[in-house]
Amino acid sequence: MATIEMIGVRKTFGTTVALADLHLHVESGEMVCLLGPSGCGKTTALRLLAGFEQPDAGQILVDGEDVTHVSPRHRGFGMVFQDYSLFPNLTGRQNIAFGLKVRRKGAAEIAETVDRLLAVTRLEKHADKYPHQMSGGQRQRVALARAIATEPRLLLLDEPLSALDAQVREHLRDEIRRLQQEVGVTTVFVTHDQHEAMAVADRVAVMRDGLLEQIDPPRVLYSRPASQFVAGFVGTVNRLSAERTVDGGWFVLGAKVEAVGDTGSEPAAAPDATPVAGEKATADAAPKHAVVRPEQLHVNRAESGAGPVARLVALSFLGAFTRAVIEHPTEGLVTADVLGEAADGLAVGDAVAVSVRPGAGAVVLQ
Amino acid sequence: MSAVTPRVVTPRVDTPGADAPRVRVPSAAPARPSRGPARHRGLRVVRWTFLTVLGLYFLVPQLAMARFAFQNVPVVLLNASTLFSKWSASSLVDALSQAALWDAAKTSAMLAVLSVVLDLALLLPLAILAEIRAPRLRPVLSALTLLPWVIPPIALVVGVAATFRDVAPGFLTSTLSLVPFYAIWAMPFTYRALDSGLRAINARTLVEAARSLGASELTVLFRVIVPNLSASIVAASGLTAALVLGEFAFASLLLKNTLPTYLVNYQRDSPQAGMALALAVMVLTALALGAVVHMLRRRGLGMSTTGF
């Protein structure tokens, strides 16, 4: 267990800047997910941590000790690769034992550790198979056991689940988390799958163009994304226009809402008008946007009255809820989730009213 | 601890957006179903015609050679009516009883082994280093290792002879002087086999995995790379050996007595026995190559991982 610190790390490949200036702090025993689209620098960050690449600038500290130029061999980190990277000429058991053999541990100690890890990863039956005789999930469990066999100070996981199919992925994801918590090893997990990151991490670091965009626990990341990019990356969002009321509140979709985020300065009181709380301000409010999650919206049928109305253009049943896409006269396409049977009365083509559900939590202003 | 894990079936709650249920669209029916089978039949006819012609092109000369070598019938009478008369292995027995044959064969075998060793000693570290440390060098190396095929043997021999006559006069008189030539000559095969083997086993990530587990460079080389590269190494060695056993130009130019030069000389004196011997060598080579491929397959190492 160790705390990890990346300070001002920069890495370029030719003219491409993979990491511009990365600052990352990982607490001892914590699991941090590096999340981002491909090319955001998350894999580079992991490879720098592992020691496979050298940064152009900056420092990597483990428990305060500078390991920036220490070879991967002497860092004492465990790594799990996307393509498993098991040694094809060794059985599962021999693969797990590899790091211990290299460290010249005694045969009894090796056997004991390997047996324990085989049990923990539920691989007893497959211990003597060669990698090519195992399924993807089994191979990745061997890779995981191999990485933690040497009791690493830091466990690095490079998209460990992306080569697996959906069911195995979910199962193994939970298993990795369970194991990580049992062993208590500090872990950095790279993924491009936001569900994966949100499900397992203590904190998720969203990266973009070689920079850290936001690092927070999943719940905070979801409810208070620091930017439009983060909001869009960790789930579906609507970007709706927000207008300021004279008392400093906010209107979204024609109703007053609870808002957090960049609310800006207090509006200047208009000298020749008496401000009325709850009324829309007029000229002095700069145009703003509110980030609203589909589940924060409420949809119900509306009588087609005069003037433009919102219309339901698509409905897809997703089990616990139904996702509705609404063509709104001023906001464009709006996505809303309708829970349970509330969707029964809705049909594509209906005129609907859409609003922010009271008590659905704050919307985020930008 | 129970080894059997109850299978937990998690109801899949699709989180919005990312993986909305995908609808499988039935693939469109073939555009012209009526013409399909006819086209297939046509293709099959073309394929079989092609294979038959190719087979005959290969087999007819072999049969002619076999008849010439193993039938005690004057050449002018070798026609359809004498196809089954007077077959005998006496010419082969004659050929095999020549002591000079075994000397030449021994020389060739020794040259093959030494050339394989030298070739691997030069190219294995080079290919590994290029793959792991300097992947940008790979195209350069692959072009460089093709050079031996661009330079004709006579140019190589003349150039090398001119150089060594002054530097080390004794060098070219030794039979072993062929080894460096053969090592160079086999480079294109060996390098390609090793290079594609390294790529097939994903050597770079294997090395990274081993290093992150604390393995030293030597451990990485001998416990990780070489064992997993064995198919390529065997293939490279087999090809190098086959090349050396069949090489004529260098040996002839340097006046060495190897199996191929012996075969040519011997055939000049006793054409029938020479032909019998050539056929026997060919069959043996084919069997040896087949055995290597079979061995690799049984170890789960297809020839596809060797680049051939």
Q: Does B213 touch chain A (CB under 8 A)?
A: yes
Q: Does A175 touch chain B (CB under 8 A)?
A: no
Q: Which of B212, B232, B299, B301 to substitute to test the interface with A, most A CBs within 10 Å? A: B212
Domains present along chain A, CATH in parentheses: 4-233 (3.40.50.300), 238-365 (2.40.50.100)
- ipTM surpassing 0.85, yes or no? no
Task: Please tell me the distance from the alpha carbon of residue A144 to that of residue A139, in angstroms, as a whole number.
Answer: 9
Task: Please tell me the distance from the alpha carbon of residue B294 to that of residue B299, in angstroms, as a whole number.
Answer: 9
Q: Identify the band that residue B115 occupies on the pLDDT scale cut at 50, 70 and 90.
A: very high
Q: Does B10 touch chain A (CB under 8 A)?
A: yes
Q: Which of B213, B225, B232, B299 to substitute to test the interface with A, most A CBs within 10 Å? A: B213
Q: pLDDT digit of tens for each residue in chain A (366 aa)? A: 689 999 999 999 888 889 999 999 999 999 999 999 888 889 999 999 999 999 999 999 999 899 999 999 899 899 999 888 999 889 999 999 999 999 888 899 999 999 999 988 888 899 999 998 898 889 999 999 999 999 999 999 999 888 888 888 888 888 899 989 988 999 999 998 888 898 899 999 999 988 898 999 998 888 888 888 888 887 788 888 888 877 777 888 877 777 776 655 444 444 444 444 444 444 444 567 788 888 888 888 876 555 668 888 888 888 888 899 998 888 888 899 888 777 788 888 888 888 888 777 677 776
What kind of fold does domain B94-306 have according to CATH?
Answer: MetI-like fold (1.10.3720)
Q: Does B205 touch chain A (CB under 8 A)?
A: yes
DSSP 3-state of B130: helix
Task: Please tell me the distance from the alpha carbon of residue B300 to that of residue B228, in angstroms, as a whole number.
Answer: 11
What tokens does A37 get? 């689209």
Nearest in space to B277 (alpha carbons), one of B73, B49, B47, B98: B98
Task: Please tell me the distance from the alpha carbon of residue A6 to that of residue A215, in angstroms, as a whole number.
Answer: 14
The shortest C-alpha distance from A187 to chain B (Å) reads 15
Decide if B5 and A72 are in contact by the 8 Å CB cutoff: no
Of B5, B202, B300, the CB nearest to A85: B202
pLDDT of residue A270: 40
- Kindly calculate the radius of gyration of chain A based on its CA atoms and give it in whole angstroms: 26
What tokens does A290 get? 């509110």
Of A73, A86, A132, the CB nearest to B211: A73
Task: Please tell me the distance from the alpha carbon of residue A193 to that of residue A37, in angstroms, as a whole number.
Answer: 9
Provide the mean pLDDT of chain B. Answer: 79
Q: Identify the band that residue B21 occupies on the pLDDT scale cut at 50, 70 and 90.
A: very low
Q: Does B11 touch chain A (CB under 8 A)?
A: yes
The identity of residue B61, as a single letter, is P
pLDDT of residue B282: 85
How many interchain CB pairs under 8 A, A with B? Answer: 101
The shortest C-alpha distance from B253 to chain A (Å) reads 44
Q: DSSP assignment, residue B30?
A: P
